[in-house]
Chains A and B, each alone.
Chain A
């Protein structure tokens, strides 16, 4: 990061807020970001791509007579930005007045940003040679396994960003963040029977990354376990979701409890607040203040402080996740999930239970462990799920063989009732996450 970036961008943002007010806007919000990225991809022992770059971006929102206009630019010349504000004020006139439009009415001044541990000073200092070496080692360790037949490559990436938010209610805050990740993606098997998968380690702190050999070993295991798949008959069986699959399911849950989707009636969970939607095992929380975690941030894109929101408590739908606009529309509080005109999760997770993944698998006489899905096929309006899937078939509590060319189908509303076991093994690398779970029954389509 450029050390003066935060101060420079704060000054720029503040001056643009003032300019917008002077040009007749009732309310103005300015966000500004400075990011530096480094990425190296290595493949088959050679550097394939090497990127190092920095970029800045400004986002603007103006409100005039309850009418809203947005603008953004990567051309940061004062002349361009002032012209964009001027035009946004003029454009706002052509929108329709909306009593719910506008910035948050309160503007807290104090944030304990240091406590959140979003920045690791080591990340911008990592020698590029070390980054290249880590990616090389990871791929080499994976390719050392004779079952691996090709590599999509290994990558090491770092991002260092400064974000600033200022608005016409006197809010001016900024914070710095770091992120680094090490990943490798592999193929096993020969023509006609090729399988593929990947693994990664990522986080805010460089020291917290898993060693190269561990990332490689996980990637190899995840790939080779899919070798020599069989087809299965179409049937209804219990389905165990591995933690990454639970994370995927939680992503779908998030889109269905988004306050924006609720007021737009584009989720089957609209109108269900306070109802028992899932079973007792289901507690889902959004928490933006967990120190050092990937979904942590002091405030959202509108300056609303992040907090902890219990979305489902023992199956009861307690809260929707709202930005300021959705909150006003629904008469509910803004939860610190604002992201542009929409919402985004902070750390959004299914509360882990007490069972080990082995105990959960052992409980199945016959069923599927879901390890990977591909395709689209999520419909928040109905809750319907239909995806291409890869899995491991379980017979008498033990993994028997891999299966492919199957699809899974079900309905989220039903799944929330049918989660009958929750594991103790959440996958915390992703901001949206959960542990191993078992769903009582889903349709698995094969031959």
Chain B
């Protein structure tokens, strides 16, 4: 799957700035002192197609262009940005960023040397962004049609395709100069089923750092539509969730959102550097059942959360966060790594040029264990099986919640009644320690996820095998 990276793009033409210009901007940024400065140049083309009520309702195209300038001094960050790449505008943005350092020595500016991207995690045989619009419209229509024709009780469908190509270049005062061109595509479908005055929605989608070939080989537009309709139909049969404490089984794949919300965020280095995360003093200590090993891996080919370089130019690494129950690592960006005297792991990400990088997840997952999924199910006499989710949230204190859109009751080791709309709530270390079985069946969730932190959205993916939690609070209405 891994191919050679595409030939470097003519950035100088795209941004109209020479390497001398960029060095001059760095010089202004560090003119009042500071340990480090970097420039982030971005040019992104984005397009989308929306279908609903049986028609292609609209199409859209957008361009994001600009430069962000960052100065770091100690733990302090100064930031300026501009969408106008005229040199005088960039100088002013660099001066704004320089204001963080009011005195003191400036870092030396090394002459940037172009660093090649060594591994390519994108598959882009048929780049979505430059594909003919008519072909993309056809994919949207296929997903829409498959959902609509799936069953007469499907009363409403929405389908959309979004694609993007993001050209970015990073130049820093330590002499790094690196660039990347990241593809991203997503085809999603929402279906609503109605019966006897009851309405339920189902959702599916796919994509990643891929081209349109994905929808032929990996997950077809028709299957996406059918799966969305299928979920809506099954929810029509679902009853409200039970409430109270009980054993929980997490479905493989989709339940990765639990790992992301309940554990991943609090292993981002910034919250630990600031000692606000419950994990800040737990390194080397037991924080989970010994069945639990958690990785974050930005290098899984084609995944939505993957990248060849992070948004600070660091090569990403598969990073072990929890090994057999012991906390062993954090997701690091440059700033936190430097302050904590650790190595960057390549998890410094940003939404766009107007944001500075912060530690983020890419694809986080619980590694496969040794229990057969059937065996896990059979071990529960009465409990709740959480299958699909709407999302979740965590506090730094470790208290988290996530919303289950569909699941099942477990009775005598079997899935019985379908259940809808429940909330799971707990405190992360407490729940991690209550994990009593981990399946052999590691799967990854839908390639459509977006994570929000401090107002910045980035694409992510997640995964997990079938998991049993001894006890957890389910919030339902009965």
Contact = CB atoms under 8 A, between A and B. Distances in A.
Interface of A: 43, 46-57, 68-76, 80, 84, 87-88, 91-92, 94-96, 98, 128, 150, 152, 187, 189, 191, 194-196, 234, 264-266, 268, 341, 374-377, 379, 381-382, 384, 386-388, 404-411, 443, 445-447
Given A70-B58, A76-B83, A50 B421 contact: no
Contacts of A48: 75-77
Interface string B68-87: 00000001111111111000
A261 to B, nearest CB: 11
Given A152-B274, A187-B276, A443-B477, A74 B83 contact: yes
B192 A265 contact: yes
Contact of A95 (B58, B64, B397): B58
B392 interface: yes
B60 interface: yes
Given A445-B243, A445-B476, A43 B274 contact: yes
A94 B201 contact: no
Contact of A447 (B158, B245, B400): B245
B201 A266 contact: yes
B370 interface: no
B96 interface: yes
A443 B476 contact: yes
Interface stretch (B161-169, B175-183, B291-299, B423-431): B423-431
A445 B99 contact: no
A264 B156 contact: yes
B200 interface: yes
22 contacts: A47-B76, A49-B76, A49-B77, A50-B100, A53-B79, A55-B83, A72-B63, A87-B61, A94-B133, A95-B55, A98-B55, A189-B397, A264-B156, A377-B423, A384-B421, A388-B425, A406-B475, A407-B473, A409-B241, A443-B478, A445-B244, A446-B473
B65 interface: yes
Contact of B56 (A53, A95, A128, A264): A95
Contact of A374 (B66, B200, B399, B476): B399
Contacts of B474: 407, 445
A191 B57 contact: no
Contacts of B245: 446-447
A194 B278 contact: yes
B200 A382 contact: yes
Contacts of B156: 264-266
A94 B426 CA distance: 49
A74 B43 CA distance: 10
Nearest to B132: A94
Contact of A94 (B59, B393, B400, B476): B59
Contacts of A84: 61, 63
B401 A91 contact: no
Nearest to A373: B401
Given A47-B100, A55-B66, A379-B421, A96 B57 contact: yes
A128 B198 CA distance: 56
A341 B62 contact: no
B425 A53 contact: no
A375 B403 contact: yes
B76 A51 contact: no
A417 to B, nearest CB: 16
Given A94-B56, A384-B420, 12 more contacts: A47-B76, A71-B60, A74-B63, A75-B63, A96-B56, A194-B397, A384-B421, A387-B401, A409-B241, A409-B477, A410-B477, A445-B476
B110 interface: no
B281 interface: yes
Contacts of A150: 274-276
B300 to A, nearest CB: 26
Nearest to A233: B244
A70 B60 contact: yes
A47 B97 CA distance: 13
A234 B67 CA distance: 53
B396 interface: yes
A57 B476 CA distance: 44
Nearest to B100: A50
Given A70-B59, A73-B63, A191-B278, A386 B192 contact: no
Contacts of A268: 199
Contacts of B398: 194
Given A375-B402, A375-B403, A409-B243, A341 B276 contact: no
Contacts of A87: 61
B137 interface: yes
B446 interface: no
A386 B475 contact: yes
Contacts of B390: 376-377
B413 interface: no
A98 B475 contact: no
Given A43-B274, A409-B476, A187 B396 contact: yes
Nearest to A410: B477
B52 A264 contact: yes
B386 interface: no
B354 interface: yes
B356 interface: yes
B31 to A, nearest CB: 15
B361 interface: no
B134 interface: yes
Contacts of B274: 43, 150, 152
Contacts of A95: 55-59
A48 B72 CA distance: 10
Contacts of A88: 61
Contacts of A264: 52, 156, 158
Contacts of B396: 152, 187, 194, 196
A268 B199 CA distance: 8
A187 B93 CA distance: 34
Nearest to B133: A94
Q: Which 3 A-B pairs have the closest CB atoms?
A: A407-B475, A388-B401, A96-B55
B391 interface: yes
Given A50-B79, A196-B397, A405-B427, A91 B476 contact: no
Contacts of B400: 374, 388
B264 to A, nearest CB: 16
Nearest to A263: B53
Given A69-B58, A98-B57, A375 B83 contact: no
A380 B61 CA distance: 29
Given A50-B99, A50-B100, A53-B80, A406 B61 contact: no
B142 interface: no
A381 B192 contact: yes
A52 B473 contact: no
B276 to A, nearest CB: 6
Nearest to A94: B133
A386 B99 contact: no
Contacts of B39: none
A43 B76 CA distance: 10
Contacts of B234: none
B395 A374 contact: yes
A74 B64 contact: yes
A18 B47 CA distance: 24
A80 B16 CA distance: 14
B42 to A, nearest CB: 10
A74 B65 contact: yes
B401 A381 contact: no
A51 B155 contact: no
Nearest to B401: A388
Contacts of A50: 76-79, 99-100
Given A94-B133, A381-B201, A46 B76 contact: yes
Contacts of A405: 399, 425-427, 473
B475 A445 contact: yes
Among B156, B199, B390, B478, residue most surrounded by chain A Cβ atoms (within 10 Å): B199
A152 to B, nearest CB: 6
